[in-house]
């Protein structure tokens, strides 16, 4: 398969090339911006409401600011589209979702503990949502009279308030965002562009917003985790400047040049759904050997899907080797060493669980696994522990155990619309294509096997196979893929965040373990990264913010390690 993601010399579209030539490094970007909308984007430190909340049983005051963070915000339609076919395969009611504020995707809320108003060195925690890579209107994370805990393992707001950090809740465009003019305004790279615009707003106003814009920590889960990783990997990449100019981001002048930085200090990213261009092949490489109709959602495993699964799985080893990544001991990362890395991560988590006193059921007995607000019993047929020591881990049975905790996605898992007999918006392909189309296939298999004439994708409409399509200078989907993927920026001239905290659950089947390990090794292989902290967390499903004490202790140590900003 053609490797689109690690092309450091990829041919850019003409309008991108002109901007890329003017790319600035972090050290050359001045502290004072001169963007076309900078005057209008100045932060009013006096325009706040005061909230009183309960933190660990004590009353704490928090200032709340709500701002539009770009100079040309996009007005959105009052009814946002339904999100296509839900994960369980049930039909969508098609009624859409009301949006009360037409600028909700270009607003953010800034929370400042009153005790930190005069602290210019504190971290700024930027929370992004985008579950499933869907658009996310701004939402309050701190409410009047709310109760928060700084000692809870599931309350990042409480931990941040106790540390005195500034907290930012952001709205961003993404999949399904429908503008008032009827266009799809959230197509890639819109979510990354919006998040970068937020970072730029914070940098522009670093002199008046408490905390330090040199200590921005972007955090999210699932699609938000992927967005966090993409922003953390692509700091100060000039290829985003035209998109930033379109929305009037801070520090972009009338000619499209930048005088502000948009790199971040760190990311805390949970189960990031990333490397979308290769997520389908990684998923089938991992699960094809154990797939059945019974362990696939809605028994959707037809003969055509079986053929697709094998085709996709066979493509993964060559892609992985094309990345030229190294493991911790310097060995090449191949499909064989990837399996060993997954097993090693599972072993480490098991050893840690044993050390913490977690009871490991014997073979034939049940694990009690988290399942929303309840637990579910899943038999242990893969992990043998005797006298507090691991005797055996059966990799294939472990994967089967994961599928019993949650059924597998369909085939393809991420790019299923208009191929393999699938109808309706399924997977992440509504993130791609032009603003006038609801979706576009974005992978080799799904593009080449597009079954719908007139949708603008596939050989039936373009006359081009995927490899020929992406070889064009103006291949929109290929450029969109590159600009939302951290894998295309790590190890390049982009200014990656120096500190990375990455987590994925040990029973999370929403993307493959290979995608998560691949991201970890890409971070680890980036020579500018100071710390890559990764775990395949013990018996966690697709979720985030379950280890807040560990995450915020890690962050505190990195802030101390970095010294004064």
Q: pLDDT tens, 63-87?
A: 999 999 999 999 999 999 987 655 4
Answer whether 190's CB lies under 8 Å from 483's CB. no
Q: Which of 30-39, 101-110, 119-128 has the least mean pLDDT? A: 30-39
User: How far is the C-alpha of 209 from the C-alpha of 112, rounded, in Å?
Assistant: 9
User: How far is the C-alpha of 412 from the C-alpha of 419, rounded, in Å?
Assistant: 9
CB count within 10 Å of CB 411 equals 30
Q: What is the pLDDT of residues 316-366, one digit of tens each?
A: 999 999 999 999 999 999 999 999 999 999 999 999 999 999 999 999 999
pLDDT at 287 over 80: yes
Q: Which of 44-48, 138-142, 369-373, 519-523 has the least mean pLDDT? A: 369-373
Q: What is the pLDDT of residue 83?
A: 77
Q: How confident is the model at residue 559 (pLDDT cuts 50, 70, 90)?
A: very high
Answer whether 133's CB lies under 8 Å from 42's CB. no
Backbone angles phi, psi at 59, to 5 degrees: -75, 130
Q: Select from 103, 105, 132 the least CA-distant residue to 224.
A: 132
Q: What is the pLDDT of residue 85?
A: 58
| Residue reference for tokens 């915020």 | 552
* Measured distance between the N- and C-terminal CA atoms of the chain, rounded to whole angstroms: 43
Segment (H or E) for 309: helix 303-322
Between the CA of residue 37 and those of 73, 247, 250, 484, what are the distances in Å?
Answer: 11, 10, 6, 25
User: How far is the C-alpha of 479 from the C-alpha of 189, rounded, in Å?
Assistant: 9
| Residue reference for tokens 């409401």 | 49
DSSP state of 418: T
Answer whether 292's CB lies under 8 Å from 306's CB. no
Please name each of the domains of the chain with its CATH number.
32-81+96-275+486-562 (3.40.50.1820)
Q: How confident is the model at residue 145 (pLDDT cuts 50, 70, 90)?
A: very high
Answer whether 137's CB lies under 8 Å from 98's CB. no
Q: How confident is the model at residue 373 (pLDDT cuts 50, 70, 90)?
A: confident
Query: Please, how many CA atoms are within 13 Å of residue 128, restricted to the half-sphere of its CB?
Result: 40
Q: Is 12 helix (H, G, I), strand (E, B) or coil?
A: coil
* Helix 276-287, helix 303-322: angle, nearest 10: 110
Q: What is the pLDDT of residues 385-395, one digit of tens each?
A: 999 999 999 99
Quote the percentage of the chain above a pLDDT of 90.
Answer: 89
- Mean per-residue pLDDT, 405-432: 96
pLDDT at 409 over 60: yes
Strand partners, 88: none
Q: Is 200 helix (H, G, I), strand (E, B) or coil?
A: helix
Query: Which residues have C-beta within 8 Å of that of residue 254, sequence separation ≥ 6?
Result: 36
Q: What is the pLDDT of residue 355?
A: 97
Query: Which residues have C-beta within 8 Å of that of residue 429, sequence separation ≥ 6?
Result: 414, 415, 416, 417, 439, 440, 441, 442, 446
Answer whether 441's CB lies under 8 Å from 431's CB. no
Strand partners, 168: 110, 126
DSSP state of 296: B
pLDDT at 459 over 90: yes
pLDDT at 9 over 60: no
Q: What is the pLDDT of residue 422?
A: 95
Query: Please, how many CA atoms are within 13 Å of residue 140, restricted to the half-sphere of its CB?
Result: 11
Q: How confident is the model at residue 93 (pLDDT cuts 50, 70, 90)?
A: low
Q: Is 60 helix (H, G, I), strand (E, B) or coil?
A: strand
User: How far is the C-alpha of 555 from the C-alpha of 545, rounded, in Å?
Assistant: 14
* Lookup: tokens for 514: 């290979």
Backbone angles phi, psi at 98, to 5 degrees: -70, 145
pLDDT at 369 over 80: yes
* Lookup: tokens for 199: 């970072």
Q: What is the pLDDT of residues 179-229, one digit of tens each?
A: 999 999 999 999 999 999 999 999 999 999 999 999 999 999 999 999 999
Answer whether 99's CB lies under 8 Å from 78's CB. yes
* Lookup: tokens for 435: 């603003």
Answer whether 458's CB lies under 8 Å from 204's CB. no
pLDDT at 399 over 90: yes
User: How far is the C-alpha of 198 from the C-alpha of 240, rounded, in Å?
Assistant: 14
Quote the percentage of the chain above a pLDDT of 70.
Answer: 92
Q: Is 282 helix (H, G, I), strand (E, B) or coil?
A: helix
DSSP state of 96: -
Answer whether 212's CB lies under 8 Å from 122's CB. yes
Rounded (5°) CA angle 235-212-522: 30
pLDDT at 32 over 60: no
Query: Which residues have C-beta within 8 Å of that of residue 162, sequence separation ≥ 6?
Result: 55, 56, 150
pLDDT at 283 over 80: yes
* Lookup: tokens for 560: 């101390």
- What order of strands is seen across the sheet that includes strand 531-537? 147-148, 49-55, 58-68, 107-113, 166-170, 124-127, 216-221, 266-270, 499-505, 531-537
Answer whether 253's CB lies under 8 Å from 34's CB. yes
Radius of gyration of the chain (CA): 23
Strand partners, 112: 63
Q: What is the pLDDT of residue 92?
A: 54
* Lookup: tokens for 266: 């760190």
- Mean per-residue pLDDT, 269-286: 98
Q: What is the pLDDT of residue 19?
A: 32
Q: What is the pLDDT of residues 471-488, one digit of tens each?
A: 999 999 999 999 999 999
pLDDT at 7 over 60: no
User: How far is the C-alpha of 425 from the C-alpha of 82, rounded, in Å?
Assistant: 10
pTM above 0.85, yes or no: yes
User: How far is the C-alpha of 296 from the C-alpha of 305, rounded, in Å?
Assistant: 11
């Amino acid at each position: 398969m053609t490797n689109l993601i690690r092309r450091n010399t990829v041919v850019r579209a003409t309008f991108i090339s002109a901007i890329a030539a003017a790319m600035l490094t972090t050290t050359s970007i001045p502290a004072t911006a001169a963007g076309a909308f900078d005057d209008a984007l100045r932060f009013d430190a006096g325009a706040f409401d005061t909230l009183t909340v309960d933190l660990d049983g004590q009353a704490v005051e928090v200032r709340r600011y709500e701002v539009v963070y770009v100079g040309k915000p996009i007005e959105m339609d009052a009814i946002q589209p339904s999100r296509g076919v839900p994960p369980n395969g049930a039909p969508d009611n098609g009624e859409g979702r009301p949006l009360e504020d037409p600028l909700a995707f270009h607003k953010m809320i800034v929370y400042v503990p009153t005790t930190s108003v005069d602290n210019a060195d504190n971290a700024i925690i930027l929370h992004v949502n985008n579950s499933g890579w869907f658009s996310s209107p701004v939402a309050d994370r701190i409410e009047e009279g709310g109760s928060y805990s700084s000692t809870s393992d599931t309350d990042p707001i409480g931990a941040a308030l106790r540390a005195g950090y500034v907290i930012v809740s952001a709205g961003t465009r993404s999949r399904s965002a429908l503008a008032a003019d009827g266009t799809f305004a959230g197509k890639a790279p819109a979510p990354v562009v919006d998040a970068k615009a937020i970072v730029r707003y914070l940098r522009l106003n670093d002199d008046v917003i408490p905390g330090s814009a040199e200590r921005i920590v972007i955090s999210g889960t699932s699609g938000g985790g992927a967005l966090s990783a993409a922003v953390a990997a692509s700091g100060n990449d000039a290829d985003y400047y035209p998109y930033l100019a379109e929305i009037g981001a801070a520090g972009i002048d009338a000619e499209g040049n930048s005088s502000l930085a948009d790199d971040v200090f760190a990311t805390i990213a949970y189960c990031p759904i990333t490397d979308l261009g290769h997520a389908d092949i990684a998923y089938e490489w991992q699960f094809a050997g154990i797939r059945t109709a019974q362990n696939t959602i809605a028994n959707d495993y037809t003969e055509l899907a079986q053929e697709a699964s094998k085709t996709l799985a066979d493509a993964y080893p060559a892609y992985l080797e094309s990345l030229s990544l190294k493991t911790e001991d310097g060995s090449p990362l191949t499909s064989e060493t990837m399996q060993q890395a997954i097993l090693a991560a599972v072993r480490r988590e098991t050893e840690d669980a044993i050390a913490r006193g977690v009871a490991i059921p014997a073979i034939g007995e049940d694990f009690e696994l988290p399942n929303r607000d309840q637990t579910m019993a899943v038999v242990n047929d893969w992990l043998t522990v005797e006298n507090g020591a691991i005797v055996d881990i059966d990799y294939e049975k472990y994967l089967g155990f994961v599928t019993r905790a949650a059924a597998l996605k369909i085939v393809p898992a991420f790019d299923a619309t208009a191929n393999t007999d699938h109808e309706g918006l399924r997977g992440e392909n509504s993130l791609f294509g032009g603003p006038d189309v609801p979706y576009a296939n974005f992978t080799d298999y799904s593009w080449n096997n597009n079954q719908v004439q007139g949708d603008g994708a596939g050989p039936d409409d373009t006359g081009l196979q995927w490899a020929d399509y992406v070889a064009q200078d103006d291949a929109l989907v290929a450029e969109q893929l590159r600009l939302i993927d951290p894998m295309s920026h790590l190890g390049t001239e982009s200014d990656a965040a120096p500190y990375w905290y990455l987590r994925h659950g040990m029973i999370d089947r929403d993307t493959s373990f290979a995608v998560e390990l691949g991201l970890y090794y890409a971070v680890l292989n980036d020579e500018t990264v100071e710390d890559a902290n990764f775990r395949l967390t013990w018996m966690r499903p697709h979720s985030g913010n379950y280890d807040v004490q560990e995450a915020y202790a890690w962050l505190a140590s990195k802030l101390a390690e970095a010294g004064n900003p």
